[in-house]
């Protein structure tokens, strides 16, 4: 029997990457609908749902400051596995995005870390910033949604604020929607969900290593 290996065609076109660069330089924020192939999105959802019992409670803060705080967030996560062909296809698209932003905007993004997230009914993530100026090497956030047939009444909007704390966007976590924004400029929250919600949150990082301090891998 002959089985062809599973392959995914890259979907981020030069035109899309131009648009992302333009919007990020003008507004620091972009929402792309149907950003990746429907097949890839479906397979990512299947993987997330199949492994959900292994997801771990998510923490806040990094390294020594990392701790669990279930008054701030109650989602569960699993870091992506590059040895899986489907997860690797997603990471490949993000690598295309990384290189494109470095080329067009000279952002100096040197790597990317990403986790699947599961918000069971009742879960939320209160308003937060992913990064504070000068204190982190996370500079560009991505959130990619995997949920089919998401209804307004299912909750779980991504609510985005500006630095004056005014709401600027409500984003429905629809399958295929990719949100990209500057990590230290947009406080955001995930409103309470009423149905299982799956996503992939990721961060492009700059290299803060110096002779005195070596950056940890994650
Ligand atoms: O899932 C979302 O819409 C956002 C998640 C988030 O803010 C985070 O993981 O830092
Ligand atoms: Fe966040």
| ipTM of predicted complex | 0.99
**Ligand 1 pocket residues where CB is under 6 Å:** 117, 125, 130, 143, 158, 188, 190, 199, 201
- Examine the pLDDT at 107 and tell me if it is beyond 90: yes
Task: State the pTM of this model.
Answer: 0.91
pLDDT tens digits, one per residue of 38-79: 999 999 999 999 999 999 998 766 555 567 677 899 999 999
According to the model, what pLDDT value does residue 70 have?
78
For range 171-179, the mean pLDDT = 98
b/e sequence 126-154, b meaning 16+ C-beta within 10 Å: eeebbbeeeebbbbbbbbbbbbeebeeeb
Closest ligand by atom to 75 CA: 1
Residue nearest (by alpha carbon) to ligand 1 atom 9: 201
Domain ranges of the chain: 14-206
Q: Is CATH 1.10.10.10 what the domain over 14-206 is classified as, yes or no?
A: no
Largest CA distance in the chain: 61
pLDDT tens digits, one per residue of 109-140: 999 999 999 999 999 999 999 998 877 789 99
According to the model, what pLDDT value does residue 62 have?
58
Mean pLDDT score across all residues of the chain: 91
């Amino acid at each position: 029997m002959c089985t062809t290996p599973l392959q995914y065609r890259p979907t981020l076109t030069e035109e899309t990457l131009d648009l992302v660069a333009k919007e990020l330089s003008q507004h620091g924020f972009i929402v792309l609908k149907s950003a990746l192939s429907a097949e890839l999105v479906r397979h990512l959802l299947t993987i997330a749902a199949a492994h959900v019992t292994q997801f771990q409670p998510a923490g806040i803060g990094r390294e020594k400051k990392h701790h669990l705080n279930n008054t701030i967030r109650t989602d569960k996560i699993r870091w992506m596995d590059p040895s899986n062909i489907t997860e690797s296809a997603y990471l490949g698209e993000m690598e295309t995005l990384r290189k494109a932003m470095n080329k067009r905007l000279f952002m100096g993004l040197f790597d990317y870390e990403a986790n699947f997230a599961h918000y069971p009914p009742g879960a939320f993530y209160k308003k937060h910033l992913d990064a504070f100026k000068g204190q982190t090497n996370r500079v560009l956030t991505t959130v990619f949604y995997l949920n089919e047939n998401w209804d307004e009444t299912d909750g779980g909007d991504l609510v985005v604020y500006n630095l004056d704390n005014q709401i600027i966007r409500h984003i429905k976590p629809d399958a295929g929607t990719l949100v990209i924004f500057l990590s230290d400029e947009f406080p955001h929250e995930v409103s309470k969900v009423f149905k299982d919600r799956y996503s992939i949150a990721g961060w492009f990082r700059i290299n803060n290593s110096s002779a005195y301090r070596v950056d940890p891998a994650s």
